[in-house]
Amino acid sequence: MDPCPSASPDAPYPRCSVVGRGRLGSALTRRLTEVGIAVTGPHGRGHDGTGSDVVLLCVPDDAITAAAAAVAPGPLVAHVSGATTLAALAPHEGFSLHPLMTVTGAETVLAGAPCAVAGDSPRALAVAEGLAAALGMRAVRIADEDRAAYHAAASVAANYLLGVEDLATRLAATAGLDPAALAPLVRAAVDGWQERGAAAALTGPVARGDAGTVARQRAAVAERLSADDLSLFDALTAATARLAASGTTVPAALGATA
User: Which of 14, 100, 86 is closest to 57 using CA atoms?
Assistant: 86
Mean of the per-residue pLDDT values for the chain? Answer: 91
95-119 in b/e burial notation, b at 16+ Cβ within 10 A? bbbbbbbebeeeebebeebebbbbb
Q: What is the mean pLDDT of residues 183-192?
A: 96
Q: What span, in angstroms and rounded, lies between the C-alpha atoms of 79 and 55? A: 8
Q: Do residues 83 and 62 lie in contact, with contact meaning Cβ atoms separated by under 8 Å?
A: no
Give the SS3 label for residue 121.
Answer: coil
Is the pLDDT at 246 greater than 80? The verdict is: yes
User: Residue 140 CB: number of other CB atoms within 10 A?
Assistant: 15
Q: What is the largest CA-CA distance in the chain?
A: 72
Q: What span, in angstroms and rounded, lies between the C-alpha atoms of 229 and 235? A: 10
Structural domains of the chain ordered from first start: 16-142 (3.40.50.720), 149-256 (1.10.1040)
Q: What is the pLDDT of residues 83-126, one digit of tens each?
A: 999 999 999 999 999 999 999 999 999 999 999 999 999 999 99
- CA-CA distances (angstroms) from residue 10 to 7, 29, 37? 8, 21, 12
4 pLDDT tier (thresholds 50, 70, 90): very low
How confident is the model at residue 253, as a pLDDT?
A: 38
Side-chain half-sphere CA neighbours of 130 within 13 A? 17
Q: What span, in angstroms and rounded, lies between the C-alpha atoms of 242 and 229? A: 20
Q: What is the pLDDT of residues 129-148, one digit of tens each?
A: 999 999 999 999 999 999 99
